[in-house]
């Protein structure tokens, strides 16, 4: 069993100051595979101090000087691809194919922000067009400073890349807290920082939970910007902590995303996109399209097609090549989804496929894929994020009704529109209140396109040039030519 007793601070592995120990589990074998000694406020303070000390020198390297380090992160992740895939599958429970997507997207992200770092350098000091004679105005983009980054457990490598890569590209230095549920894959990031001789203090990793590390990190006065991905309840706490110090904050929070199947859609193709949108990673994905709105003329045929596909999903060992869906990442998350299934029974929801009626593997934190039809919009399962393989569906009479119900949500992270007419699907997509709208496709995320949501789904954007801008402050120098 692996023991993570050290934090990575100022390019040194130092013994954690905290006393509590947290178990890290394999959700398929339901056994402990590692133990983390959580840090405490003294570890956070040491990490922030190291980041502060190194920030000006890291900024002075310029984008051209920082880019090779980002490329080196990508190269080292590629070199460790197979071992990291298996480690992620073991710690997280995701099937190997899903772990590969997590890792490959992270690699692409580091490479993209290496290019963005160079582009940032090239545009520093650009002239601002204006109408005043004899006056020069130039724009510079400076790093926000020392940033605190907190990531979730569902996609550990890519969600950390979405924060670390643009922060480093911008010239910020980092104090990074990975999820205490899945610390093993992200431990590799500190090991890579050491291997590529990243300057001391630029990237600091502190292990622990919200109590031990999260709270002191978000409250630390030496942090200039906070970026958090996770639940709305914790996101509100991060925002309150940022407000205390008048600091910047980026939040990527929950979702209850709709998928609209219009009356001209092809049923079998639509079924494939619906499946990909909800059952990927056992439904543990913030952008899961967990509310299905289908035109009534297609509803029965689509439910039949989905039922057949659900029956074909193979549950099992995430390291096995023939597994389609692994277990939930933790016993706690499995219980949370089971609680929602109990609510469904209380509400009398009609199941097309019910997790409670399927034989599960003999071991593992499994929840079988579930589909409810004719779900009232008042149902808790319709309105709340479940974060599991549970799809709620209802039929609609018109395109207008589909748009109205899709937007009737506290969340606005993502949505999908499926139609036989691409232009129609785009028009409907423009009417939806969400940050990413997939048109006749599902869950396509790329480094070049922004990521983030409307309403309760968060504040700010990650990825693309917007992700870099989140870690920059704009400065203008104005005076005589």
- Residues in contact with 65: Cβ distance below 8 Å, sequence separation at least 6, in sequence order: none
* CA 146/CA 51 separation, integer angstroms: 6
Query: Exactly one of 252, 399, 442, 462 is catalytic; which is it?
Result: 252
Q: How many residues does the chain have?
A: 481
- Cα→Cα distances 279→258, 310, 362, 370, 442, Å: 14, 9, 21, 9, 12
* CA 76/CA 409 separation, integer angstroms: 41
- Cα→Cα distances 171→48, 63, 139, 188, 465, Å: 15, 8, 16, 22, 15
Residue 151: name the closest of 133, 135, 175, 130 by CA: 175
* CA 118/CA 112 separation, integer angstroms: 10
Query: Exactly one of 109, 172, 286, 392 is catalytic; which is it?
Result: 286
Task: Quote the longest CA-to-CA distance of the chain.
Answer: 78
Place of tokens 């990825």: 463
| Helix/strand/coil for 330 | coil
The end-to-end CA distance of the chain, in Å, is 66
Q: Report the sign of the C-alpha dihedral through residues 9, 103, 158, 324, in that order.
A: negative
Radius of gyration for the alpha carbons in the chain, expressed in angstroms and rounded: 23
Q: In the annotation, is 286 catalytic?
A: yes
Measured in degrees and rounded to the nearest 5, phi and psi for residue 170 equal -75, -20
Instruction: Tell me the two tokens of residue 350.
Output: 């009609």
Residue 211: name the closest of 92, 46, 39, 47 by CA: 39
- Dihedral class, residue 464 (left if φ above 0, else alpha if ψ from -120 to 50, else beta): left
Q: In the annotation, is 252 catalytic?
A: yes
Distance of CA 51 to the CA centre of its chain: 24
3-state SS string over 147-198? EEEECCCCCHHHHHHHHHHHHHHHCCEEEEECCCCCHHHHHHHHHHHHHCCC
Q: Report the sign of the C-alpha dihedral through residues 177, 182, 188, 189, in that order.
A: negative
* CA 294/CA 285 separation, integer angstroms: 22
- Cα→Cα distances 160→7, 25, 181, 348, 397, Å: 17, 20, 14, 40, 42
Query: Which positions are annotated as active-site residues?
Result: 252, 286
């Amino acid at each position: 069993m692996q023991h993570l007793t050290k934090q990575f601070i100022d390019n040194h592995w130092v013994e954690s100051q905290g006393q509590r120990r947290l178990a890290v589990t394999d959700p398929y074998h339901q056994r402990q595979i590692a133990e983390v000694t959580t840090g405490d406020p003294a570890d956070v303070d040491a990490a922030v101090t190291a980041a502060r000390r190194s920030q000006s020198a890291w900024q002075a390297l310029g984008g051209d000087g920082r880019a090779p380090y980002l490329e080196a992160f990508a190269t080292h992740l590629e070199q460790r691809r197979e071992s990291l895939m298996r480690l992620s599958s073991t710690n997280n429970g995701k099937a190997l194919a899903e772990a590969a997507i997590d890792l490959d997207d992270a690699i692409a992200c580091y490479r993209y922000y290496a290019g963005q770092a160079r582009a940032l350098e090239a545009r520093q000091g650009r002239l601002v067009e204006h109408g005043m004679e004899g006056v020069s105005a130039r724009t510079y983009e400076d790093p926000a400073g020392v940033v605190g980054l907190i990531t979730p457990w569902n996609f550990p490598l890519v969600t950390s890349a979405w924060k670390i890569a643009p922060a480093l590209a911008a010239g910020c230095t980092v104090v990074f807290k990975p999820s205490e549920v899945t610390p093993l894959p992200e431990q590799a990031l500190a090991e890579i920082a050491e291997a590529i001789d990243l300057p001391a203090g630029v990237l600091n990793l502190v292990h622990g939970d919200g109590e031990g590390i999260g709270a002191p990190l978000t409250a630390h006065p030496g942090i200039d910007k906070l970026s958090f991905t996770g639940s709305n309840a914790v996101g509100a706490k991060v925002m309150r902590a940022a407000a205390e110090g008048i600091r910047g904050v980026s939040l990527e929070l929950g979702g209850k995303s709709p998928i609209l199947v219009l009356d001209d859609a092809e049923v079998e193709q639509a079924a494939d996109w619906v499946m990909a949108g909800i059952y990927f990673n056992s439904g543990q994905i913030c952008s899961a399209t967990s509310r299905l709105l289908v035109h009534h003329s297609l509803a029965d045929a689509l439910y039949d097609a989905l039922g057949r596909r659900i029956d074909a999903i193979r549950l099992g060992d995430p390291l096995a090549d023939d597994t389609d869906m692994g277990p939930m990442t933790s016993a706690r998350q499995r219980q949370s989804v089971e609680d929602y299934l109990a609510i469904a029974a209380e509400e009398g929801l009609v199941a097309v496929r019910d997790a409670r009626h399927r034989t599960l593997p003999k071991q593992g934190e499994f929840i079988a894929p579930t589909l409810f039809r004719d779900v009232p919009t008042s149902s808790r399962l319709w309105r709340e994020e479940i974060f599991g393989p549970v799809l709620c569906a209802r039929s609609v009479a018109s395109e207008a009704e589909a748009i109205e119900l899709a937007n009737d949500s506290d969340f606005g992270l993502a949505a999908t529109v499926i139609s036989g007419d691409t232009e129609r699907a785009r028009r409907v997509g423009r009417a939806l209140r969400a940050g990413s709208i997939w048109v006749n496709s599902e869950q396509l995320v790329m480094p070049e396109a922004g990521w983030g949501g409307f309403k309760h789904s968060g504040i700010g954007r990650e990825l693309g040039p917007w992700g870099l801008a989140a870690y920059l402050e704009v400065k203008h120098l104005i005076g005589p030519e």
